[in-house]
Amino acid sequence: MDQGIRIQIKGKDAFWGRAFHVEWEHQYPDRVLVSDTLNFYTARAEWLPDLERVGTETLCKVVQAPENLRRREWMGSLMPWRSS
């Protein structure tokens, strides 16, 4: 079995973030996204195209998240002009 990847779901706002999950569960009831932290999930790598498609349908962006969130925070502190 695939070990999985970490993804982040960035919704246009809270409504669309919830809409992503409703649509994902409707289209793929057997594909469970495991919540890691707020807006971070573990999913199987082969689901990524489907995740991105559902994201597009619900005004959300699905991106592969870094394994180490502290490193992202550290890099963000070095480049404050860059948005996460």
- The predicted model scores a pTM of 0.75
Q: What tens digit of pLDDT does each residue of 9-65 get? A: 999 999 999 999 999 999 999 999 999 877 789 999 999 999 999 999 999 999 998
Give pLDDT, residue 26.
98
Return the SS3 of 41.
strand
Domains and CATH numbers, the chain: 5-78 (3.30.70)
* Pairwise CA distance, residues 56 & 50, whole Å: 10
Give pLDDT, residue 31.
97
Q: What tens digit of pLDDT does each residue of 71-80 get? A: 555 556 666 6
Residues forming a β-bridge with 84? none
Q: Encoding tokens for residue 27?
A: 């289209």
Whole-angstrom CA distances from 26 to 17, 40, 60 are 15, 20, 16
Give pLDDT, residue 41.
93
